[in-house]
Structure 1
Amino acid sequence: MARRLFGTDGVRGVAGEFLSAELTLALARAATARAAATTPQPRVLVIRDTRESGEMLEAAVAAGVAAAGGSALIGGVLPTPAAPLLIRRYGFDLGVVLSASHNPYEDNGVKFFGADGDKLSDAVESEIEALLDGQAAAGGRDRVIGGVSQLHGTLDDYLRELQTRFSALDLSGRRIVLDCAHGATYKAAPEIFRRLGAHVDVLSDAPDGRNINAGCGSTHLDELIAAMRAGDHDAGFAFDGDGDRVLAVDGDGAVVDGDELIALAALHLRAQGALRGNGVAVTVMTNYGFHAAMADAGIEVATTSVGDRYVLEALRERDWALGGEQSGHIVELGYAPSGDGIASALLTLEALGAGSLAERQGMEKLPQRLVNVRLPDRAALERAAGDAEMHAAIEREHAALDGRGRVLVRPSGTEPLLRVMVEAPDPAEADAVCARLVERAEAAASQPAG
């Protein structure tokens, strides 16, 4: 069954408009009712990021959980990766995270985690939509009203998990810059780095509900780049609004994306005999240079669709432990079943040992250009993605780069964006190919509907 509300990472949209309190309540009620069919009075963890709409939607989720007979446990502001860790620690039956990740503050989102700590599958999300539409029943049981309570100490629980994983990592003498995007990592990230001995300078750690991701964090690196160039730091890390991804900047101001961070982690874990299955899973967006580096090291690579859930599926299928995305989602299954920006930053420092990020030797990147073509709405996106001339242009450009690079054009699953990515040996060639494809996409999107 096709999903109409859920995208690649939950249900996301403008808070108070598409993502209304009513819809959020209904989603929480349906998800809890589904869980209650097999687990009476399910316990549901609820956490959020720092958006001003978070409290409203948190109240809506709590009401939906209680209306379905569940117990809503409010964990407050925490990074998204805290959810699976807390679910496993306390045996919760369901987790709800309210966040729109790297999106602007006006947006918010609802994503669900199951009792195993994993994000719900596409099939289960379809079942929740069916419950919303009255196409299925929650199961025959007496009507029960649940409750709502605060769950205290969640930040300390999350920090304890990080400290246990990186107990052997001594950051004494290390100088680190952290950009917390005015988001969910603003307390947790500086605290764990300091506990491990680092000297920490922090950017964007004063959320006011509207400044999340605003000119800061992993989608806006200028401030972090300037800080790294101006100071004497070993590494800088920028998180997104909900803390499940990270990008890095070295002392020269060069951006280090998820591909390079995964390469560093893979080579480090293999050297330690800790790269389970001697393989790593990445997505179709991953740079060709990553594949070349892994081939040289004798490490197998599996390629998936974009989305950390698909990386996770590939890891589970192969019994591997490491994977991720160019955007900075990095999964280390030995620690948690989801991307964790803070843990990934610490893993990077673990991999570097006594060296600085500028001294990294993970991979050599092929020049890559990625343009996000923002379109007016989903209908325009569908016109651009389905345009026959667009497909023909993609085939022509791909053929011209055969053996030297590649072209990838894909629609976003969460926003009206068409992502155009080109890799070529020469940056000017990559720019030119990108420009031609972007022009064709915009022309296709502007065509009259029908």
Structure 2
Amino acid sequence: MPSSDDAPTKHRPHLVVAKGTFSTLGGAERDLLNNLNALNEIFDVTLLTLHPPTPAEMEEAGVGHIPTLCPDPPWDQPTGPFAEIMARGNQTSTKAWGDLMSDSKVNDVMNDAEAIHIVSGPGSLELFNSLPPLIPTHLHMLEPHRGLYEDVLHRTIDGTLNRPMWLTSFLLSKQRRRDQQLVRRITDAGGLISGNSPWIVERISEVYRTEATLLPHSIDTSEWTLEPTPKEISVWNDVSMTHDLIEDEYVVTVGRASWVKGTWQTLSMLESTPFSLAHIGGGESEDIKKLEAHAASLNVTYRPLPRLSQLEMLSVFRHARAMVSHAHHEPMGLTPIEAHACGTPVIAVDEGGFRMTTEDGVSGRLLSRDAPISEWHSSLEQAGDPDCRRMWSAAGRLRVKAIGMSPTDYARRIHDYLKPLIVATKPS
């Protein structure tokens, strides 16, 4: 972790924190909201977005006081094969940012800003087209656009390719060039890029031929507690009754139903076990129906859960046999560190960012995607042993602490990365 010899002065530099959309409140969006207060201790933060979180989501994260600038109506990401091939998301978000920046209030904020921290995702990088010149910029790249550089987003829920990959690659060539140009413009202007795990730092180097620093996600252990609070116990009673969840009789997986998140494979792994699958993250109705049919063919109970509050999600995690993931090269994944925090065993594929937060046999299990099914089932048996659960969780929490994954660590890293850039732009 970067170190600072000097504490932040009383003057808090004005930092604009930008993300394209919060319309899907996934792990990356929750992580950013949970870090805003720590950032606001060091910086004077303004949130800039094309699609803001709901007021309830802001309040739940304790950041309702953070000034937020966004268009009305909000921007919605175009979806579907045609929109993807024609780069409609890139085009419409570029226009939306341009329109937003022409607003006098937003323009005043941007002229006052001393730096900007952009978190990647749909519509995020396109902001750079509308930024004032010379503003110090830090890009937190959670992953290079996987739809442009990998095949995992071009597969149906069961892994079937939507079309031949050579055709997909050809159709997306224009969008790839735009993506490369945007990232190159950021680095050519002196901007810094960070990845959220060593795996993503490596991927940034491979895809964009540029260096990146490390900025992991964070977890607030005051919210993801090792022991349940009375409020959480009450929430669990409601959630378990509503969704027919029985403690230690299900495993939990997180992420929008898709091939890339491994939902189909996690269901397949549960065949011939007594465990049901609680799935947090939702998905397209057709994909959910296919997963339900797949589960029925395996004689596995599949429980897709609606959008949950953070406390509801915590209660579902805590009472699960394990948090299981077959996600394909997950960039980092918040779910393992959340599981470590509340004492739930982690069993995941030995790929991507999972290797940063979980050590096989020490703080959970990391298994080859092609490992015999018996090895996965054996790991589920291990996860039921109380002593094993305690040891894995304790080791996982120590690993997270050693990496430095608190909101304060996150904010301090950004301060240290941006400080030289801010100083360099000050009049001498």
What TM-score, normalized by structure 1, do the two folds share?
0.29
Higher strand share: 1
Higher helix share: 2
